[in-house]
Amino acid sequence: MWLYVWCQWCGLSGTLFFIFAVFLLICLGKKRDPPHFPPGPPALPILGNIFSIDSKQPHIYLTKLADVYGNVFCIRLGRHKTVFVTGWKMVKEALVTQADNFVDRPYSPMVTRIYGGNSAGLFFSNGSVWKRQRRFAMTVLRTFGLAKSSTEQSICEESQHLQEAMEKEEGEPFDPVPLLNKAVSNIICQIVFGRRFDYSDTDFQGMLTNLTDMAYLEGSVWALLYDAFPALMKHLPGPHNSIFSSSKSLETMIRREIDRHKQDLDPSNPRDYIDKFLMEERHNRRNNTGFEEENLVLCCLDLFLAGSETTSKTLQWGLIYLIANPHIQDKVQAEVDRVVGQTRLPTMADRTAMPYTEAVIHEIQRMGNIVPLNGLRMAAKDTTLGGYVIPKGTAVMPNLTSVLFDQTEWETPDTFNPEHFLDADGKFLRKEAFLPFSAGKRACLGESLARMELFLFFVTLLQRFHFSAAAGVELRTEGIVGATRTPHPFKIIANPR
């Protein structure tokens, strides 16, 4: 018996020794940082810093690390190094001054799985495909969005549907999020699909639910875990699997719309983004510029994620901050009454005569901090940032939170203060460090459309309603962070003016 136990022990010891030896070899064989590489917090072997990150408020944790390690520092997610760039000056250096060097996206196992290995679409493609698809999308947005005078009317008409839905609540507390999601998404639906959906449409509601789930999970700690340990995570249960099921559901709906367009496509009269893409596909399918039907699905998915989630969440934060600051809501409504009045719909031409309203919308975007970090970039060549060496291929993350709350750029960075965007004479003041849409060559391609939606939706809503919370209820402002920053569930009261 003792001999058997001894052999068993020797076998176990040998196994443990083998595991330890492999672990040691991995650690010793790890590629060392080059001289003058950005510093960072101590990291666990294999695991890196992934479990040090605050899963609820990662943007705050990462911003505070700059106080210890400087505005350019490195953390390890698994065995992968990511350099974080903090503060307006350094983020501007990366995104604007070195725009060409930090334009590509690094490899992501999660993105590769969502996009079927294509890494295409509008936001995760690189090189000539990305340049051609971005240019095409911007042209279509101008054609079916910004350049059409009817777009202003479409937004105002959608706001009428939104107002009617709010009026049905009859002054009782209600959750405004589903209504705002539907209103904003209908604008991008008209540009991409050529039609709007009724708020009661079940397919439309399912699409919005999937979009919300993806927007949260793609920026959560689950996404970081998947990218750090893809071979393990793809076999484990967990919330990260919802990213893939939601994307598949969205792709199914988009394919149905594409099939509908193919049946009655009229090349002489394109109606929307899908029609224009299908026409381009006929002429460019062999040019390797991304004009294939599979990529059309992915581009539509990207347009909906960027064109609905961010604007809707800005409106949500707007209601919260206006309710928390009723004197500011009153001043905006006084300006609306003076410039627009109560009887006509607003137009974009009114914006120049409404500096206070413009300042409030900009401050909502700053404090709402809808995209707390940014999309990952990758150094195209060896370079330097803040005096540190950034080798070619290094993943770089610009921290937009650190810009919107930079104490050297904003007088009261942690306070909701529209005066940040007004000069001494009360005129609207543009600020260089205002980067809710990012900057450089990867800046949000729908920025102009989003600005139009925010102005017209806000003005039409405040023209009709005074917003408040139930007596004794204080709305929360810390937010739930994923790829976007979402308010905690809340209810409001919309009283007709």
pLDDT of residue 297: 95
Task: Say if 6 falls within a structural domain.
Answer: no
Nearest CA to 202 out of 214, 210, 194 is that of: 210
Task: Say if 1 falls within a structural domain.
Answer: no
Tokens read off for 216: 């949260």
Task: Say if 12 falls within a structural domain.
Answer: no
Answer yes or no: are the C-beta atoms of 233 and 217 closer than 8 Å: no
pLDDT of residue 353: 98
Answer yes or no: are the C-beta atoms of 226 and 109 closer than 8 Å: yes
Into how many domains does the chain fold? 1
Task: Say if 273 falls within a structural domain.
Answer: yes
Task: Say if 26 falls within a structural domain.
Answer: no
Q: For the chain, which ranges sit under pLDDT 50?
A: 1-29
pLDDT of residue 50: 85
pLDDT of residue 399: 97
Q: What is the CA radius of gyration of the chain?
A: 25
Tokens read off for 487: 């308010």
The CATH number of residue 365's host domain is 1.10.630.10
- Residue 53 one-letter amino acid: I
Answer yes or no: are the C-beta atoms of 346 and 463 closer than 8 Å: yes
Angle, CA 246 vertex, CA 114 and CA 206 arms, to 5°:
145
pLDDT of residue 146: 61
C-alpha 142/C-alpha 144 separation (Å) is 6
Task: Say if 168 falls within a structural domain.
Answer: yes
pLDDT of residue 31: 58
Task: Say if 191 falls within a structural domain.
Answer: yes
């809710």: which residue's tokens?
Answer: 436
pLDDT of residue 219: 83
C-alpha 457/C-alpha 155 separation (Å) is 7
Task: Say if 108 falls within a structural domain.
Answer: yes
* Residues of the domain holding 255: 31-496
Residues sharing a CB contact under 8 Å with residue 288, sequence separation 6 or more, in sequence order: 128, 129
**SS3 state of residue 492:** strand
C-alpha 445/C-alpha 463 separation (Å) is 29
Answer yes or no: are the C-beta atoms of 385 and 72 closer than 8 Å: yes
Question: Alpha carbon of 120 to those of 175, 283, 293: distances in Å?
Answer: 36, 19, 12
Alpha helices by DSSP H, 264-380: 273-284, 293-304, 310-324, 326-339, 355-368
CA atoms within 13 A on the CB side of 409: 19
Angle between helices 127-141 and 293-304 (to 10 degrees): 60
Nearest CA to 473 out of 347, 344, 357, 323 is that of: 323
C-alpha 307/C-alpha 453 separation (Å) is 10
C-alpha 106/C-alpha 108 separation (Å) is 6
pLDDT of residue 20: 44
**Number of CB atoms found within 10 A of residue 279's CB:** 15
Answer yes or no: are the C-beta atoms of 189 and 196 closer than 8 Å: yes
- Residue 108 one-letter amino acid: S
pLDDT of residue 1: 46
Instruction: Work out whether strand 480-481 and strand 485-486 pair parallel, antiparallel, or are unpaired.
Output: antiparallel
